[in-house]
Amino acid sequence: MRVLQVSAELFPLLKTGGLADIAGALPLALMAAGQDVRVLLPGFPAIAAGVRDAVAVKEFAAPWGEPARLRLGRIVTPGARDIPAYVIDAPALYDRPGNPYEDLARKPYGDNHRRFALLGWAAAQIAQGLDSDWQPDIVHAHDWHAALAPAYLAFAPPGGRPRVGSVFTVHNLAYQGLFAPRHFPELGLPPAAFGVDGLEYYGQVSFMKGGLCFADRITTVSPTYAREIQTPEQGCGLDGLLRSRSHVLKGILNAVDDQVWNPATDALIPYRYDLRRLGGKAQCKAALQEELGLAPQADAPLFVVVSRLTEQKGLHLVLGGLDALLAQGGQLALLGSGDAPLETAFRQRAAAAPESVSVTLGYSEDLAHRLFGAGDVTLVPSLFEPCGLTQMYGLKYGSLPLVHRVGGLADTVVDATLEDMASGEATGFAFDDFDPAGYARALRRAFALYRRPADWRAVRANAMRRPADWGTAAARYLDVYAEALA
Ligand code: ADP
Ligand code: GLC
């Protein structure tokens, strides 16, 4: 099957969150399953610079007339095959400092509707033969940035070509791509597309709805989140639409790219380890304590956080519970960036207790690996979490996840109750009540288990053994592609 994956970010070229990890790993998994996969990305500076040997394919015009160029090159990935990659060359739209979505002052760019409409538009053009050498059977669009691709395909003029199926994956329903209605005419869609059964969302233009209404199949990144987004509590105003399309909606759990995240082979951690040779993990912890200026205590449980600092991630619980964590003898090492008040609060806590609390504000792929390698517990107390990857990295690196039991966190972490420890299923700590008391109890459970080394080792072994391979996820996506084509 020929599959075009469409996303705004892709690891290792450009990453602001988990979307990039998935956009980088899924093509490789599909290629390993024998499929003919290409990706389509906007020509942001990091992408334009990272795609090798790019050659011009074709000039084309955006719906509002602006010229753009499609280029084709390849992405070199750690330890795996090259991914063929189309890049949209439109410097006036993409060649800007800042992250892909916001300027340096963290304000969304005023022309984001054009910048991301062009991504979906280019995908639909490729499906309609823009590259005479290659046309996809399936266009697979990720998140609101690519969500107009299914809409453009649904309204494309019939061209005597084989039908192209569309799949839309929701990585986070909370980010919808909403724009003022005056921008709708620029998008090149017929007026009929701007209705309740289309892009219209309380008078605004919703890119997310373009994907949800017009894709042949919808997926999201965990089975629990697929159910949650059909409820008013977690549906972000779209639960009714999602319920009406539940027959084409499926949750497919993300997996972990073993070439990037594997403590036995990871070149970014100072000592490598696996289940049979766990000495390296203790050495990683000692090295990190020294690096971060934490007290060199092997027996102080080390809690790690690697996260965007936003309301979604529930980190006010970590702040509120920090005194209890320290009073029980723990240490905290956090790596994150995001909302200024959270950054300030964590920075102050580190300044007040530098031997037990380390806070690194910013983005560092390398330090993230060292934290999972060193950690005893990975904290992910998110308010909601479509899938979550850091708890899965925590599992694989034996840094037991402590999570709020929602979304993908509920699907990947089994609480260390006596019965689940007895059956060998326990892999971490999970709490139901999203409040300080619920979090504090889970924290006490982690400390209690830590004081029973044999039990701790058993749970850690369960965690490190938990399968998270992309082969299974890729097979599920292939089923969905077949359904989209049928
Ligand atoms: P989300 O996509 O909602 O941010 P995920 O858990 O799915 O959450 O993915 C987050 C990804 O981003 C993980 O790969 C994590 O390691 C990485 N990450 C988050 N914050 C940072 C940071 N400050 N530095 C390095 N990596 C980070
Ligand atoms: C989103 C979600 C996160 C998920 C990631 C990759 O960023 O917030 O839960 O793991 O996408 O699918």
Residue appearing with tokens 């509590």: 233
Nearest CA to ligand 2 atom 3: 388
Domain spanning 2-255+470-485: which superfamily? Glycogen Phosphorylase B; (3.40.50.2000)
Decide: residue 52, CB within 10 A, 0-12 exposed, 13-18 middle, 19+ buried.
exposed
pLDDT for 158: 84
Please state, in angstroms and rounded to a whole number, the distance separating the CA atoms of residues 252 and 448. Answer: 34
Which residue out of 172, 311, 382, 412 has the highest number of ligand 2 atoms within 8 Å of its CB and is therefore the one to mutate?
172
Which helix H or strand E contains 335, and what residues bound it? strand 331-338
Q: Which atom of ligand 2 is nearest to the CA of 21?
A: 6
DSSP per-residue string spanning 175-203: ---EE-GGGGGGG---GGGSSTTTTEETT
Alpha helices in 259-413 (DSSP H): 279-292, 315-320, 322-327, 340-352, 365-374, 390-396, 407-412
Q: Which atom of ligand 1 is nearest to the CA of 385?
A: 3
Convert the pLDDT of each residue in 73-117 to its tens digit.
999 987 789 999 999 999 999 999 879 999 988 899 999 999 999
Identify the nearest ligand to the CA of 362 by its number.
Answer: 1
Ligand 2 contacts CB of residue 387 (under 6 A): yes
Euclidean distance between the first and final Cα of the chain, in Å? 13
Convert the pLDDT of each residue in 248-292 to its tens digit.
999 999 999 999 999 999 999 999 999 999 999 999 999 999 999
Identify the nearest ligand to the CA of 378 by its number.
Answer: 1
Decide: residue 454, CB within 10 A, 0-12 exposed, 13-18 middle, 19+ buried.
exposed
Identify the nearest ligand to the CA of 19 by its number.
Answer: 2
Identify the nearest ligand to the CA of 397 by its number.
Answer: 1
Which residue out of 9, 15, 308 has the highest number of ligand 1 atoms within 8 Å of its CB and is therefore the one to mutate?
308
| Nearest by Cα to 125 from 264, 45, 6 | 6
- Ligand 2 centroid to Cα of residue 386, in Å, is 6
- Per-residue burial over 91-125, b = 16 or more CB atoms within 10 Å of its CB, e = otherwise: eebbebeebbbeeeeeeebeebbbbbbbbbbbbbb
Identify the nearest ligand to the CA of 307 by its number.
Answer: 1
- Ligand 1 centroid to Cα of residue 343, in Å, is 16
Could you tell me which residues come within 8 angstroms of residue 132 by beta carbon, excluding any fewer than 6 positions away? none
Nearest CA to ligand 1 atom 18: 307
Q: Which residues of the chain have a pLDDT value below 50?
A: none
pTM: 0.97
Could you tell me which residues come within 8 angstroms of residue 185 by beta carbon, excluding any fewer than 6 positions away? none
List 388's β-bridge partners, or say none: none
- Ligand 1 centroid to Cα of residue 164, in Å, is 33
Nearest CA to ligand 2 atom 1: 171
Nearest CA to ligand 1 atom 12: 17
- Ligand 1 centroid to Cα of residue 103, in Å, is 20
Q: At what angle do helices 365-374 and 279-292 cross, to 10 degrees?
A: 120
Please state, in angstroms and rounded to a whole number, the distance separating the CA atoms of residues 167 and 141. Answer: 6
Ligand 2 contacts CB of residue 385 (under 6 A): yes
Domain boundaries, the chain: 2-255+470-485, 279-465
Same fold, 2-255+470-485 and 279-465: yes
CATH number, domain 279-465:
3.40.50.2000
pLDDT for 344: 98
Please state, in angstroms and rounded to a whole number, the distance separating the CA atoms of residues 70 and 165. Answer: 21
Residues having CB closer than 6 A to ligand 1 are: 17-19, 21, 306-308, 335-337, 363-365, 368, 387-390
List 304's β-bridge partners, or say none: 333, 378
Identify the nearest ligand to the CA of 252 by its number.
Answer: 2
**CB 260 within 8 Å of CB 273:** no
**CB 426 within 8 Å of CB 416:** yes
- Ligand 1 centroid to Cα of residue 314, in Å, is 14
pLDDT for 45: 97
- Ligand 1 centroid to Cα of residue 189, in Å, is 34
Could you tell me which residues come within 8 angstroms of residue 163 by beta carbon, excluding any fewer than 6 positions away? 485
Q: Which atom of ligand 1 is nearest to the CA of 312?
A: 3
